[in-house]
Structure formats: structure tokens, C-alpha cells
Structure 1
Amino acid sequence: MHEEIDVVVIGAGQAGLATSHELGLRGVEHVVLEAESPGSSWAHRWDSFTLVGPNHLVLLPGAPYEGDDPDGFLSREQITHHLEAYAARLSAEVRHDTPVRALRPGRAGGYDLETDHGRVHSRVVVVATGAYQRPHHPAAVQSLPAGLACLDVSQYRNPAGLPDGAVLIVGSGQSACQIAEELALGGRDVVMACGRAPWFPRRTGGRDIFEWLLDTPFFDHQVSDLATPAARLGANPQVSGRDGGHDLSFRTLDALGVRLGGHLVGSDDATVQLAADLQTTLAASDAAHDWLRDLIVAGCERTGQAPPDVPDPAPFAPATVETVRVRDIGAVVVAAGFRSRYAEWIEVPGLVDEQGFPRHDDGESTVAPDLHFVGVHFLRNRRSALLFGVGDDARATASRVAGRLGLTA
């Protein structure tokens, strides 16, 4: 089958659905192609997963949160259902079970898309396949013994699904900490190979961390505001939305009995080796806490609010794990962040930069005209891929597409 479509949106997560909504408002006829079903990426998270941002920050255009628990945190089932309902209300056709296997420039312009149901040619394409496309495995993970159960964060479901024995968590961002906490509360021996991640109290001064940060430029930061472009790959602050939301930092995990070590160095058949850099990692985490505090205080000075009283981090020098016997480990859970996979299926030379992010001008590829991206982390700013920020990018991209097609933007 060969089909001609003016505009195709690839992906029916929050980015694709928000873009579809905005295209519809501008009279742009289009089709959304989704590999599985709307919101399916959320459905694949672990069983106890919840959003980290409060429900009232689910601000998708045409689909804001309207429930009775605005300060709560949606479960994976609830956010999936929210997106399914959103998709059902759109004016455009959303085709389920239609993965795009390849995208390449057409001979006469536009783009050819190879799907499981045939080829589609589209004049304009919006890629909205999400910020979390491929779990990242640090190189040292490859040295783990072949017989050791090793899962990434997209494969973990619950403690009962892991073999008996200690669990080594590789990573220390939000997902890593949440999984480590769940395992520790379930009575498992947990060792964490720690990377650098910021932390801050979930609530302070009577407000949630998100409320404080929204009063600062934090979510408006662009790539140019970062120390290096690679900082886009850094971890988010360590907090949890589970059980009403609570603190979740290295100190929290240590108090639960999680054994902390430096980053994963490698392994032989007998021993897993962790680096002797835990104290440096903890110091960097505390420094990030202080930076966030200073940012919030500066924000309060601008808005005239009384700043929260956030004390300096207390001294913290936990026992350091440097080796773990392989025979004591039941499973390894790799939660070291995600990377893009655009270059794996979009056949456009020079499409992405060194970190795998699209090279773009306001969301449109600089090497492939009429190829747009939405839902990319830091596409326009830090909120670009978030449930309360992706709508801004969707509106901007829809206006750009409509203008290109000669429609009222």
C-alpha cells in the first residue's frame, strides 16, 4: 500500500497528541501514527510508578487535569487512561499499531515513511516519539557476567519479578531511587552504584518543590544556559510522587538500608567493582541542592515572597561499598537514564548532535526542511518534554506547520 498524506505526526504520547490538538485548531489535516496505543510508553513503566509532578501540572492543551486530587500524583494507569481519552477526542485519525520503521527524504520532496502497513509519503512530518526512547547502558554494564539477570528500567516491574538475592541498582536519578526504595521496603538487600544527581526536599515552606521552581527561571532554561550541551543528559532532582509524594535522596535511601557505592567500574566472574568516588558524588549532590536553594531564594526576591528556610545539608558519610560478590547478586537493574534513537530510523545525515539531540531551528530540522520535532528534552527549554510544557512547543510547531502550508497560524 502507498498512501499520500500532507502532514503526519509520529507518536501518540503527550507530545504527539498535543501537537495533533494544535494542528486541528489551525485547520491542518493530518494523521497520527502510533507504534502501539496512545500513552503506551507510560503503560510500560513499573507497577508502582507515579508521576513526580503534581496532577495540577498535567496541562496538555485541550486536556488539563480536572480531577479531585490536584496535589496528588497520577499512577501509570491513570496517566495512560488520561492520554487514551485525549486521543479519542481529537479530530485527527490516530492509527494504533502502526510503527514507523524508517523515514527518509522522498525523491520529489517530502518524506517516505515505512510502516508495518505499507509506505506513506508526507509533505510534512512531526516526530513526537518521546524523550525516553532507549535505556542507556553504561559501558561497564557489558562486563557483567552473562548469567547474571540484568534488566533495564523499562523491563523492571516489581520486586517479586526479580530473582532472590541482592539487587544492584546502576544509577541514582529519580527512577533509580524510586526502584531502590521499593526494593528496600520489600526487604531486599540493595546496593546502588551512584552517579551524580541533585536532590531537594519534596516540600518546604508549605509548598512543593515544583511550585517553588516554577517561580524561578529553572524550567525556562535553554541549552545555552547550561554549563555544557551534555548537561541535558543530567539526572532530575531526586524526589518521589509515590504515597502522596516524599523526599527521596541518598540520605533517605541510606536510612532505609540501601548500601551506597561509587559508579560501576566493571566486573569479572567473581566480583563487581564500584569506584571509590562516592564522597565526591555526594558532595556534588549537596552542591546541586544548594544551587537549587539559591535559585529559589533569588526567585522569592523577584516575586516578593518569603523564602523557605532550607538548612544546609547535614554531614553525611555513609559506609562505602566498593565490591560486591557476584554470587550474592540476584539481579542488576540499570536505571542510568535514556538516550535518543532518532538516527537509528531517520535516514538523514547530520540529523542529530553529539548527544543524539536533533539539530533544529525552533523545532524544525536544520538539515531536513519540513521535518519537525516535539517532545524532545530541552528542545526549546527545560519544560519542552514535560506534561506542563509540551503544549507550548506543540503550539509553536503547529503554527509553523500551518504557516508553511499557507493556513492561518
Structure 2
Amino acid sequence: MSYPFGGRSHYSVIVVGGGQAGLSLSHCLQQRGIDHLVIEKRSLVHSWRTQRWDSFCLVTPNWQCQLPGWAYDGDDPHGFMVKDQINGWLAGFVAHVKAPAVEGVTVERVTRVPGAGGRERFDVQTDTGSYTADQVVVASGGYHRPIVPRLAEKLPPHVVQYHSAQYRNPAQLPEGAVLVVGCGQSGAQIAEDLHLAGRKVYVATGDAPRCARFYRGREVVDWLADMKYYDMPVTEHPLREGVRDNTNHYVTGRDGGRDIDLRRFALEGMELYGLLTGLGSDGTLEFQPNLREHLDHADGVYNRINASIDRHIEARGIEAPPPSVYTPVWEPPEERTRLNLAEAGIASVLWCIGFSPDFEWVDAPVFNGRGAPVHQRGVTGVPGLYFLGLPWLHTWGSGRFSGVARDAEFLAEAIEERKNAAAGSQPDAQEEPAAAQLRAA
């Protein structure tokens, strides 16, 4: 193997993943003078270029783009960057960080092994050779395996199927109706994209919540930021770690930002169904009779978020337009539980039901029964092993541009503390070390 950066095979820290999280940590480690290597399977910030459809845009305002040393500084802070703008901004971040990184290298195994002087270290095996490191940070995100149910195998071969990660635009699909399975952020926005293009769209809904784009004269994100929602750690959330399993609220930043209301789409010809459960031998799709429940749940969350903003406004005597409550513009006349593919003219199916994590290559006893890492703010029970960039790792923004910098700074401090301890030195007594912060939390 030919090692980069002077032929080194050992580093104080190896960061697995060169997305926004891994690069954020690289920036923080460079600020501390800690030697490290970022290993990226494809190319830096790869997923933003390849796993987004053409009309994709942010669902959070541009001012929330706050990567370390690289905050959004454009002329539209309350706008929503589209795909090309996002990638341009991220290209600037890559150039800004100048991370010591190797691209096109796949990490196949991370194992803790004995090291010199009785200290353990990590063996990092890749498809091009092996490295060792005193500490390892897994920053590869939590969206690895596209979820496609076994039901997909039963669909007729003439029906074209894509996962949301593969969707680009309506012209990619054959003529005919489209079934979108799932109504989270991706499903709802892709359904809207197809609907606006004049395609006949059927949607198999789930229990995804939704929220308003604007309320009482302001962007809802601005209100929630004032209410310190984005500063709430997972340990203080009413659901605790359970919030990590929640589906994201559907809303869009498209055309300056607006609500996504499936009921309004239904008035305009979109066909809505409940949860997809099966496919009969005659080519008939089967659904649960829970469409009304799904729509009511989404609207209930929408109204509860707005009500929390109402309380905030009242408590602080803020002048704002009057409150309102969303009332349904359409109700399902009946619960339809069957849909024949041929009779509906469905020529393509888009699976928009998310991703599952894949951390099988991390050989460490830090995972729960569902394969998710157990940690406190990214610090696992295995000394020197960390995770970064996961949804609700610490706050709502941990997996987004808005919160990953704070998490990266925290882990860099924990890494530095451990490095100093191993070298026989101690951090400044005036500074509260990261481990102490964790214990206090």
C-alpha cells in the first residue's frame, strides 16, 4: 500500500467519512494541532451531489448553514439554497478545511487491538491496506442502506422501481402514473415534484408529521430558534433517545418556501391511500384503512407546533399577526384498501421509506439490538471510539448543517483530553474537560 502524507500508516485520529461531519471535525482537530486522517469511501461531500433530485432544496433557511469557519454569507439568509447552490457552498467548505483526506478508499473493519506500552489502539482495515490510530471517529452518517421492502420483488417486471436516493426528475420515469410509497420529507417533496410536472401521482402514506413554513408573520424555524428548541439536548427532549426514531416533518423550501398539504394535493387530483401492506396475485395493491388517521396526525402536529409559538408570543408580549388553526381542506370520502396496478396505469414506483444504518464494519460492543450505536453525545463506552453526524446525536441539528459544528467541537475537545492524558499531561485546570461535561450531563 502507498500511504499518503509522508508515508504514514499511524495517526492520532482516523475519521471515517468525509461528509459535513467528518470535515467539521477535521477543521476542529487542525485548530488543535492534532494529526489525523479522513478516509472517504467515495469523494468528499459525495452524497449531496449524488443522492438528491434535481429540484432539491434545503428545508431549513440558509442562515442555519453554520459549518465551522464556514457560515452562509450570501444575500438570502432566509431563503433556501437549491441543489447547485448547496454543492457550491460545500465545495467552498472543502477548500476551506483542506482536510488531510484520502478518497475512494473503503474502510472494511475497525478493531481495537493491543498497542505499544500496554495501550490499546485501533486497527483500521481498508480495501487498499491497513492503518492504525489511537482514536477513531465514525462520521459516515446514519443513512447507509436504502430501505426497499421484499414486496418490491413481487411487482410486475414492467413496473420501473427506484429508491428516493435514485430519483432525479419526472422525465426519468416512463409515461404513466407513479406510486410514491412514503410521505416523509423525501416522499412528500418528490410527490410534489411529480404533481407539479403534471404526472398522475398515487401516494401510500405513513405517519410522518408536518409543520408550517410560515406562521404569524415569520418563518417557523425563526420562532423555534428564539424558543431555544434547536439548543435542546436529546436528554431533555420529552421522548429522550426515542426522538431519534421519529420521521422528519414534511415541508419544503421550494419557490421561497411553503407548506406541503397532501389534502390540497388530493383536491387537485393526487390519490392518497393508507399504509401499503401487500400485493395480491392479481396485481392489486393492499393498504391499511388508516389514511384519515395519518392526515389527522400530521395536521395535529402542525397545529401543536403553532400553538407552542402562540404561547411563546403571548408570554413575551410580542406583537405579531393573530393566531390561526389549520382546518382540513379535504377529507377522504372513504378508506380505500385496494388499488389495481394495471387499472390505475401505474408504470413506476418510488420507494421513499428511508435508510437503515450499516455499522457492521465497526467491531466494538457499542450497539443496541437494532444496530444503532449507544453513546452520550457521540462518546461511546469503548475509550477512543466516537460517532459524529447522526440525527439527534446531541440536538436536533446534529445531523444537519446547523448543529454539527457544535458536536465536532465537543468531540475534538474529548479527543484532545484523551490524547493529553495518554501523553501524561493534563488539560488546563481552569477548563472543564469534555468527560466532566458528559458526567454532568
Aligning the two structures, in what range does the TM-score lie when normalised by the shorter sequence?
over 0.9
State the secondary structure of the residue aligned to 1:31. Answer: strand
Within 5 A, what are the aligned runs for 1:169-318? 169-219=180-230, 220-222=232-234, 225-227=237-239, 229-269=241-281, 270-306=283-319, 309-315=322-328, 316-318=330-332
TM-score normalised by structure 1 residue count: 0.92
Deviation of 1:162 after TM superposition, in Å, equals: 1.1
Deviation of 1:310 after TM superposition, in Å, equals: 4.0
Deviation of 1:152 after TM superposition, in Å, equals: 0.9
Deviation of 1:355 after TM superposition, in Å, equals: 4.4
Q: 1:101 is matched by which residue type in structure 2?
A: E
The answer (yes or no) to whether the contact 1:215–1:300 under 8 Å persists in 2 is no
State the secondary structure of the residue aligned to 1:384. Answer: helix
Within 5 A, what are the aligned runs for 1:73-222? 73-108=80-115, 109-138=120-149, 140-141=151-152, 143-145=154-156, 147-219=158-230, 220-222=232-234
Give the corresponding residue for 1:381: 395
Give the corresponding residue for 2:364: 348
* 1: CA distance, partners of 2:218 / 2:123: 49
The answer (yes or no) to whether the contact 1:144–1:272 under 8 Å persists in 2 is no
Give the corresponding residue for 2:430: none
* 2: CA distance, partners of 1:64 / 1:249: 31
The answer (yes or no) to whether the contact 1:223–1:381 under 8 Å persists in 2 is no
After superposition, the C-alpha distances for 1:148-193 in whole angstroms (9 at most, x for unaligned) are 3221111111111112221111111111111001111111111111
Deviation of 1:314 after TM superposition, in Å, equals: 1.4
Deviation of 1:125 after TM superposition, in Å, equals: 0.7
After superposition, the C-alpha distances for 1:1-47 in whole angstroms (9 at most, x for unaligned) are 37211111111211111111111112211111111222111112111
Give the corresponding residue for 1:19: 25
Unpaired stretches in structure 1, ≥5 consecutive residues:
none
Deviation of 1:221 after TM superposition, in Å, equals: 4.9
Deviation of 1:127 after TM superposition, in Å, equals: 1.0
* 2: CA distance, partners of 1:12 / 1:347: 20
* 2: CA distance, partners of 1:305 / 1:91: 45
Give the corresponding residue for 2:66: 59
The answer (yes or no) to whether the contact 1:339–1:356 under 8 Å persists in 2 is no
* 1: CA distance, partners of 2:297 / 2:263: 14
The answer (yes or no) to whether the contact 2:158–2:347 under 8 Å persists in 1 is no
- 352-361 vs 395-404, which deviates more? 352-361
State the secondary structure of the residue aligned to 1:405. Answer: helix
State the secondary structure of the residue aligned to 2:398. Answer: coil
The answer (yes or no) to whether the contact 1:103–1:345 under 8 Å persists in 2 is yes
- The question of 1:34 aligning with 2:40 is answered yes
- 97-106 vs 14-23, which deviates more? 97-106
State the secondary structure of the residue aligned to 2:363. Answer: coil
State the secondary structure of the residue aligned to 1:369. Answer: coil
State the secondary structure of the residue aligned to 1:106. Answer: strand
Unpaired stretches in structure 2, ≥5 consecutive residues:
4-8, 428-432, 434-441
1:329 corresponds to which of 346, 351, 365: 346
After superposition, the C-alpha distances for 1:41-90 in whole angstroms (9 at most, x for unaligned) are 11121111111111111011101011122122112222223222212222
After superposition, the C-alpha distances for 1:259-288 in whole angstroms (9 at most, x for unaligned) are 111011111341111211111111111221
- 74-83 vs 174-183, which deviates more? 74-83
State the secondary structure of the residue aligned to 2:165. Answer: coil
Within 5 A, what are the aligned runs for 1:38-49? 38-44=44-50, 45-49=52-56
CA gap of 1:235–1:309, structure 2 versus 1, over 3 A, is: farther
* 2: CA distance, partners of 1:394 / 1:312: 39
Q: Which has the larger radius of gyration?
A: 2
* 2: CA distance, partners of 1:121 / 1:137: 36
Within 5 A, what are the aligned runs for 1:389-408? 389-406=403-420
Give the corresponding residue for 2:437: none
The answer (yes or no) to whether the contact 2:234–2:241 under 8 Å persists in 1 is no
State the secondary structure of the residue aligned to 1:71. Answer: coil
State the secondary structure of the residue aligned to 1:74. Answer: coil
* 1: CA distance, partners of 2:243 / 2:297: 14
RMSD: 2.2
Q: 1:31 is matched by which residue type in structure 2?
A: L
CA gap of 1:230–1:258, structure 2 versus 1, over 3 A, is: farther
The answer (yes or no) to whether the contact 1:6–1:124 under 8 Å persists in 2 is yes
State the secondary structure of the residue aligned to 1:372. Answer: strand
- The question of 1:339 aligning with 2:356 is answered yes
CA gap of 1:94–1:403, structure 2 versus 1, over 3 A, is: same
- 265-274 vs 224-233, which deviates more? 224-233
CA gap of 1:195–1:127, structure 2 versus 1, over 3 A, is: same
